[in-house]
Amino acid sequence: MPNQIKSLSKGLKVYKTIVDYGKPIQAKELCSKLAIDKSTMSRLLQTLKDEGFISYLENSNEIISNDIFIKTNQATKIELLIKKTNYLLEEIAKLTGECSYLGIFDDYRVLYINQLDLSKREIKTRNNIGVQTQLHTSALGKSILAFGNYDLKKLKLNQYTNNTITDVKSLENELEQVRNRGFSLDNREYQDGMRCIAVPLFNKDNILIGAVGISGSCERLSESVMLEFGEKISDLVSLQKIVY
């Protein structure tokens, strides 16, 4: 294979990795992921930067992709993610009898992109697809924060109920618990009378792509049931590696 073609192939792999990573990444991590030496990586990154495909965050060595690819493909990627995970939402809904959700990080909020309610209850859960909520108040958001790499100081810790976490230290402690047990809880923190459980969702390369979970009334989701479902959903999701 000619050297120019090899360089192009490597450059495309580097760019795809940056885009798929979904958050700032450093050159040394790219070298490790792609088994590319430091000098070659430096040349590839400089070319991508010169051509306008990537940028460096101000005063840092963290790399982000520019909007050229993201803007034109975001809707398609969301549609693909929904398609790839719909069966998982079905399994979670069947397992728990509650409405299941899929959420992703979107400008320091949770964006609900899919939900499924298979219950036979007369009053169904309202449609939340397309709704954004605060990361610190929702179980989906806590899973994303706990297993992602985000600046907690950028969060607006608004209070919604008496149980809402409103300071960074308490949130850090909560996220540490989430990492230890593998799932997150919303115990009437966004809406009185409602509880939620969520689990982080990773792709086949072990990159965080969002979170899945359930919500339900306090009458149905007691604290013991929440912990039981958290373990069961974690076990179910741990068997999945989404090809995305």
- Report d(CA 226, CA 113) in Å as an integer: 23
Q: What distances in angstroms separate CA 187 from CA 133, 175, 184, 204, 222, one per listed residue?
A: 15, 14, 10, 31, 10
Contact 23, 31 (CB under 8 A): no
Structure tokens at 180: 């230890």
Q: Is the pLDDT of residue 164 over 80?
A: yes
Kindly report, residue by residue over 49-84, the tens digit of the pLDDT: 888 888 888 778 889 888 655 554 566 788 889 999
Across the range 89-102, mean pLDDT stands at 96
Q: What percent of the chain has pLDDT over 70?
A: 92
- Report d(CA 159, CA 123) in Å as an integer: 28
Nearest Cα neighbor of 125 from 191, 169, 76, 187 is: 191
Across the range 176-197, mean pLDDT stands at 95
Question: Which single residue is written with the structure tokens 């979904």?
Answer: 22
What pLDDT score was predicted for residue 3? 61
Kindly report, residue by residue over 104-163, the tens digit of the pLDDT: 999 899 999 999 998 888 777 778 888 999 999 999 999 999 999 899 989 999 999 999
Going along the chain from its start, the domains and CATH numbers come out as: 3-65 (1.10.10.10), 73-238 (3.30.450.40)
Query: What is the model's pTM?
Result: 0.70
Please tell me what DSSP assigns to residue 72.
H
Contact 37, 31 (CB under 8 A): yes
